[in-house]
Amino acid sequence: MEYKEDDYLQLSGIQHFLFCRRQWALIHIEQQWADNYRTADGMVMHKNVHNNNFRSARRDIITIRALRIHSSKLGISGECDAVEFHSDENGISLSKTEGLWKPYPVEYKRGSSKNGIYDKAQLCAQAMCLEEMLCCSINEGAIYYGETRRRESILFTEDLREKVYQACIEMHQLYEKGYTPKAKMKKGCNACSLKEICVPQLMSTQSVDDYIKESL
């Protein structure tokens, strides 16, 4: 199946979706948003990174920032924070550039490395878009974390790719239905900028039905 361009969803939404489906729906279906320190700090960081006039070239690496990407197979579009093209005899040719080059996407995050797959899946989705657009294969990329100021290399395994693919299918299904999942209180809720809009604590209280049964 291939999606039409008008049906593309935001690639960055994969990170929201895998972290919390309700958060994703509030942002991407209901168009609700609220900033906190984390989101504001992250926006400043990405504003500095997303300079689409920036292109640097060293002898063996060419770096392009704010590269627009899309995938008709996944039905998503967005921007890569940065894509490094490493000199590689098994790479692809670039316009007005000699040699062969291997794409290497780099995503910038304000915090530190996480146990979940949210950030990794977002980077993998970028790689899958680049593969489709450039007719190549990309096995690895990196996430730069601002808090630790270090890169973490990410391998794009078949398992990670499948999670991205399934997430895209679910995102499109929920978007078409216009359905916002119910809240489920969890540890990450306290740090979410949408906590006051989502009010997950209400879902953890006793239901009216249970209250009546208990009273009787």
Check pLDDT > 70 for residue 201: no
Q: Which residue has the higher pLDDT, 45 or 40?
A: 45
Q: Which residue has the higher pLDDT, 68 or 22?
A: 68
Average pLDDT, the chain: 84
Residue spans per domain, the chain: 5-181
pLDDT value for 4: 96
% of the chain at pLDDT higher than 90: 60
pLDDT value for 50: 56
* Residue at token pair 């949210």: 118
- Evaluate whether 176 touches 182 at the Cβ level (below 8 Å): no
Sign of CA dihedral 20, 26, 27, 33: negative
Q: Which residue has the higher pLDDT, 102 or 188?
A: 102
pLDDT value for 81: 96
15-19, 106-110, 124-128, 201-205 — which one is most confidently predicted on average?
124-128
Check pLDDT > 90 for residue 41: no
DSSP string, the chain: ----GGGPEETTHHHHHHH-HHHHHHHHTS------HHHHHHHHHHHHH--TT-EEE-SSEEEEEEEEEEETTTTEEEEEEEEEEEEEEEEEEETTEEEEEEEEEEEEESS---SSSHHHHHHHHHHHHHHHHHT----EEEEEETTTTEEEEEE--HHHHHHHHHHHHHHHHHHHHT--PPP---GGGGG-TTHHHH-GGGGGSPPHHHHHHHH-
What is the arithmetic mean of pLDDT over 190-196?
63
Q: Band of the pLDDT at 47, cuts 50, 70, 90? A: low
User: Among 109, 116, 122, 115, which Cα is nearest to 156's?
Assistant: 122
pLDDT tens per residue across span 140-182: 999 999 999 999 999 999 999 999 999 999 999 999 999 998 8
pLDDT tens per residue across span 81-125: 999 999 999 999 998 899 999 999 999 998 889 888 999 999 999
- Evaluate whether 122 touches 11 at the Cβ level (below 8 Å): yes
5-181 CATH fold: Lambda Exonuclease; Chain A (3.90.320)
pLDDT value for 190: 60
Q: Band of the pLDDT at 48, cuts 50, 70, 90? A: low
